[in-house]
Amino acid sequence: MNYINSQLLVLVLMIMMPTTAFAENETMTLIEQYRQGVTHWPEAKLDAGVEVQPLMPLPQQIEFPLDNPFSEEKQQLGKHLFFDRRLSQSQQIACASCHDPDLAWADGRRKAIGHNRIQGDINSPSIVDTGLLKQLFWDGRVNSLEEQTLASWTNPIEMAANPENAAKRLAKTASYPALFKTAFGDENITPERIVQAIATFVRTVRSSPSDFDRFMEGKQTALTDQQIRGLHLFRTKARCIHCHNGPLLSDNQFHHLGTSFDQVGNFQGRYKMTGKAEDVGAFRTPALRTGIASPPYMHNGLVTDLDMLLAMYNMGWWQNAKLDNKTDDIPTAQLSPLIKPLDLSKQELADLKAFLLGLSSHLPQPLLPEELP
């Protein structure tokens, strides 16, 4: 067989070869690129003008504020306070009522249940790794865990507490005066010290390294081939990287996805803070590491499981109609320009789901403190 005929034969065989063989070869090449480390990864596909933080493992150290430095004694005191029902007005609700370690430090409900069994209008997010956040609550209305603790403690539909009364109640117990003396130097129990101790404890509620963290640190086998395909989709066709980036897999920004309408409670979101039309219905991007482990999802608990969540993104969510209970001076929420239909296949959705599940780390279960006398 001469050279020309041999080349024709090769060409015919290539044409007759099943397309899956090409796909498998390309996929393996892609997988090997990812296994060789971040510097070998293909470029992420981003909309013009969008900048993202690089994906990276979670930092191991948490910064504590200068006016509330860490001490082990304060952390242990905060742990007791976090689980103590006596802080609430009814003396039946603790911080842990909505942030249960058995439920990934959330509550597993669509919307939180607070004082007098009142249902709130928002989903309880997990507190894991919140020490890394710069803005807290779904609408970002506070800038520290101390502010967040006080706000939830005094909210009339959460713990509904009078901080001064709660502090006096603890001062009459047999145990707390000594714990406050160990943590703060004297037995004086004040609302400020209670807030500082709880915030200190919450900053120490951390996730352990996930399969994704180990992969990023160089363990090539930490992610399966399917998860690597999902990682590639995450950075390209699935568009997740636009909002879920950086060590927390959150841009810490606020976006409207079409989830805000009058039947599901709070619809104003970030708009309450800024008064900007583009912030109507915009809520903080959740950190995927702990968010995946604590369904239901979204600020209103609208999405019950991960398959439903991926289906919603795949269809591109929806544009809101005008709300029945919206006053005329509030603009109609506009879908974020970063949200677009994805056209992911069934297999691509499965790959993406596999990767997302690899983001969730084991959440260490704390030894729950005994109720103090």
The whole-model pTM stands at 0.86
- The pLDDT, as a whole number, for residue 324 is 59
Q: What is the pLDDT of residue 22?
A: 33
Q: Is the pLDDT of residue 154 over 80?
A: yes
Beta-carbon neighbour count of residue 186 at 10 Å?
Answer: 10
Q: What is the pLDDT of residue 4?
A: 40
Over residues 264-303, the pLDDT tens digits come to 456 788 998 999 988 988 999 999 887 788 889 988 888 8
Token look-up 């690129």 returns: 33
- Compute CA 288 distance to the chain's CA centroid, rounded to the nearest angstrom: 5
Which H, E and C letters describe the chain, residue by residue?
Answer: CCHHHHHHHHHHHHHHCCHHHHHHHHHHHHHHHHHCCHHHCCCCCCCCCCCCCCCCCCCCCCCCCCCCCCCHHHHHHHHHHHCCHHHCCCCCCCHHHCCEHHHCCECCCCCCECHHHCECCCCCCCCCCHHHCCCECCCCCECCHHHHHHHHHHCCCCCCCCHHHHHHHHHCCCCHHHHHHHHHCCCCCCHHHHHHHHHHHHHCCCCCCCHHHHHHCCCCCCCCHHHHHHHHHHHCCCCHHHCCCCCCCCCCCEECCCCCCHHHCCCCECHHHHCCHHHCCEEECCCHHHHCCCCCECCCCCECCHHHHHHHHHHCCCCCCCCCCCCCCCCCCCCCCCCCCCCCCHHHHHHHHHHHHCCCCCCCCCCCCCCCC
Q: Is the pLDDT of residue 129 over 50?
A: yes
> According to the model, what pLDDT value does residue 26 have?
52
**Which pLDDT belongs to residue 364?**
63
